[in-house]
Amino acid sequence: MFDIGFSELLLIFIVGLVVLGPQRMPVAIRTVMKWVRTIRGLAANVQNELTQELKLQELQESIKKAEHLNLNTLSPELAQTVEELKQSAEKMKANLDKQASDANHALQQQMDRVRNENVQENKLEKTENSTALDETNQDPDDLTQNIADELSLDEQLAQYIDQYHPAEDAQPVSQQEKK
């Protein structure tokens, strides 16, 4: 479709990974894939509508040619067939217009849903980032107290290690065995 090879895709992926980072890259890929699916659906709908429109146009041209040849002088059965063709062409046109409006409405809803999902993902990402930022932006006095607590715990652990003697873990030798 776009004539993009594997090496180009790999280069785009690496640039995206560097620019967006590993945390935002999956979200960006999902968003791009949603847009690609939406565009493909839109293209398929447009293609179907164009095909139906061409068929309708050919039918109308055939009817005009028949009218031009003055088919009113032909048999009543043939005139009835022409009228039926006109009615079916009008029905097809009405159905085509209805399908086009339904497809446009469905596409608009799908695009709105994708936009809402993107907005929600962005809000969630912002709240996660602000929570992480709040955790890192603690009061300096609290940080100092936390560091002091960790240092005192480290000092206590060092004292316990210094007091520990592996020989004390051995079974005590009874007085009788010593003699």
Give the pLDDT score at 41.
92
What is the average per-residue pLDDT within 35-56? 91
Residue 168: band (very low, low, confident or very high) from pLDDT cuts 50, 70, 90 = low
Can you tell me the distance from the alpha carbon of 141 to that of 144, in angstroms, rounded to the nearest whole number?
A: 5
Question: Which single residue is written with the structure tokens 């062409």?
Answer: 89
Which of 51, 60, 67, 65 shows the shortest CA–CA distance to 89?
A: 60
Residue 71, C-beta contacts closer than 8 angstroms, at least 6 positions apart: 78, 79, 82
Query: Mean of the per-residue pLDDT values for the chain?
Result: 77
* Per-residue pLDDT reduced to its tens digit, 5-33: 888 888 988 888 888 888 888 888 899 89
Whether the CB-CB separation of 107 and 41 falls below 8 Å is answered with yes
Give me 140's structure tokens: 């300096």
* Per-residue pLDDT reduced to its tens digit, 95-109: 888 888 888 788 788
Can you tell me the distance from the alpha carbon of 167 to that of 173, in angstroms, rounded to the nearest whole number?
A: 11
* Per-residue pLDDT reduced to its tens digit, 103-148: 878 878 888 888 888 778 777 777 776 665 555 555 666 667 777 7
Give me 137's structure tokens: 């932006």
pTM: 0.38
Worst-scoring range by mean pLDDT, 36-40, 68-72, 148-152? 68-72
Q: Higher pLDDT residue, 149 or 179?
A: 149
What is the DSSP annotation of 124-155? HHHHHHHHHHHHHS--HHHHHHHHHHHHHHHH
Q: Indicate the DSSP class of residue 77.
A: H
* Per-residue pLDDT reduced to its tens digit, 69-94: 765 566 777 777 878 888 888 888 88
Q: Higher pLDDT residue, 1 or 39?
A: 39
